Structure 1
Amino acid sequence: MLDIKWIRENPQALDAALAKRGAEPQAASLVALDEKRRAVIARLQDMQSRRNAASKEIGAAMAQKNMELAEKLKAEVAAIKDTMPAAEQEEREVSAALDDMLSRIPNIPHDDVPVGEDEGGNVVARVVGEKPRWNHPAKEHFEIGEALGYMDFDRAAKLSGSRFTVLTSQLARLERALGQFMIDLHTGEHGYTEVSSPLMVRDEAMFGTGQLPKFSEDLFKTTDGRWLIPTAEVTLTNLVSNEILDQEKLPLRFTALTPSFRSEAGSAGRDTRGMLRQHQFWKCELVSITDQESSLEEHERMTACAEEVLKRLGLHFRTMTLCTGDMGFGARKTYDLEVWLPGQNTYREISSCSVCGDFQGRRMNARYRGKEDKATRFVHTLNGSGTAVGRCLIAVLENYLNEDGSVTIPDALLPYMGGLTRIEKA
């Protein structure tokens, strides 16, 4: 959420930033609503001040036995008391309207983010590795998995409907190995603290990281009013909600390997074959809580940690700087890691690493204080995938396919595969 004080002082800057994102100007409406709110508050304060002053004057009038004045003042106090509830209700309604409007405004892009309308405006930051060269034809992951006999979409549909997958035997183990490899790498070498957190959260947690109120249709809700997490970013980031942290203890770095749940409401007809876009999938999440000064440096570090996963697996990928029109709602700057999929003959996103500034910190009321500081500041937050396990499984299948239809297991995963070096047909 953006600071209304900053918006009042920089209305043109807000509208210019929104224009970069392809959004309509909002500053005038926000400022007008804020002025209305401030006017109501000022009127309430005047009424309270006059009520208090009149109450004192009643006592003075009665002490002087001026009963006529005392009765007149009592009538004035009574009239103020009668009027105040309506003014208080108006203040609540105007404040709620302003908060709701602010909660739907996206974050301000950093100055170095390329301006563009959609993914066509994204810029290649770097390319790592080379595309595999074979004498045999490439295949898509679902062709490989079904031919091996360990990937079943029909049985998944029987259980749960579309956009679910059943993995068995060696592919189920490979998926588990990938997740274990990622969490071990980030905790053992990259300094992240592993967290096991709930998969269901309250409204406040979803609001804190920006999923609510704007993106409720992308979420699954339980019958008792909780939400299934679309990413562990929600729980890891909200660990510090409503807290004041010591600056000297920052950054905090958290990681979790969890299922994620997404309704994919806006993706009808896209990636309906295979595992690319699922309602349920495993992901290794990275979250950092930092101060203002170190957040951009932390963004580069986090991206490098995610890249290391793909490097260790020997996968060819490129890192993209997303343009203003393709960034997520809460991001100020985002790098997408796009892995090469030979079966599709294209790059596909496998990780997204974003720095959010104090956007989420303000929504969560999460702050920090320096050792010598009296005032507090909102924390800066970052999140990224390190990486999406299902998509990494897809990449391994398509990039390590052998001519006979078997799949070689990358060296980095061998310690997790119980002596298995290749996945072969059942």
Structure 2
Amino acid sequence: MAMVTGIPALSGTGIYLIILIILGLLGAAGPVSALHGSDLLLYSPNISLDEDTDEFLEFSSFFNLDDDSLVWLNTWKEKKVESPRFKNTLFLRNISGNTTTLLSESPGPHHTYTFHPPLSLSGPVVAWSEYGKNTIFLFDMESGRETALASGGHSPDEPPENVEPSLDQDRIIWSMRTPAGSGDQDIVFQNLTTGTWQPICTADGDQIDPAISGTRVVWTDKRNEPGDGDIYLYDMATGNETPVCTVKGLQQKPQVAGTMIAWMDYRDGQPAVWLYDAATGSESRISGDMVITGAPLVSHDFVVWQEYSALDFRDEREGTIMVYTMLTKTREVLPSRGPAPRLLDLDENRILYADSDDTSLQEGFVHVYVIDAPETEPSSPVQTSPVPALPPSPAPAPIPSPAQKSAPVAALPLLAVCILHLFRQKFQAIPGPSSHD
């Protein structure tokens, strides 16, 4: 039987690729439902993104949200000069008071070099470090004073390099290299109230990316795989160290809240989000297939991360912010008006993010999405479908539901582009009818 002239021939490879695309886009969503909550808009003239001119660039980054406080780092830097000037400024916003305060700046009275991210905020204290000085700095909102953290355990002739602070109330941990510029990085702890100092881990190789919750400390550990990394846990209440994940490949950037530990994992090739329960010793992958994820953030009830389709090869990919609810074991999409929301921080049930619509970082806005709490907790085993949620609060108004489209629906334009590309580039047209037909 003759084929219609001009219809592309679907080779085995072409059909296989199309099937992969369809399954990948559908599988990437997994068990996804619409997230319920309300959106709060915050504005500050000290928030900016990509103020980029021929002479300078300026941007805000490393946001940290805790209760009624929001801190961030603003960077201004000259361009196209041999020795460019720079300005780092730490800002604090009181959300209920609607005020913004300058906490510290470099160059300034106490600082000379650029600030070393990340920032950490817990209660009234903000912590950060500075390139060149190798010191952890603290700002106390109650006293309005900035101080340098005085840590012990090292020789004055070999001052350490102190970076990556992480706070939980009056407890602080960080990564220390002794002496600065050489040696391994270790994890150390200090109680800010009592001044008690102790090493957490001094194993071979670098220990980096520390995070703390209560008595539990987690970090990325390179003792077994110097080129990659594993996840380790230390409980100060018991004095026990536990290897959380030591599978082959890179595991990094862990976060901890209570007994739950989440991290970024490359064991399957593309980065994914995995979750470990220290109470049960159970481990599971919680991000979907065929997606590329960023580093997760974790609270006692939620894990949040940024993700992109692994099949989206455009320079400006459209991403989503995913929310995993531990109670229901479901993934949900954070609703946003713009096509490329940017995850900034997580504080319990509040997600700090930037939208790509007209209320963006470029205009000085950040968003706080408040997730509604479930009506009741299940008395039976954990459900696999979402628990009913309370209706959105009347003020502020929730984001309109049309933006809450599922990942497969949102991916249909991308699917069409991919199929069209395959038809144009991969397939040959079938010849017209033969004279023998």
- Normalising by structure 2, what TM-score? 0.25
**Higher share in strand:** 2
**Higher share in helix:** 1
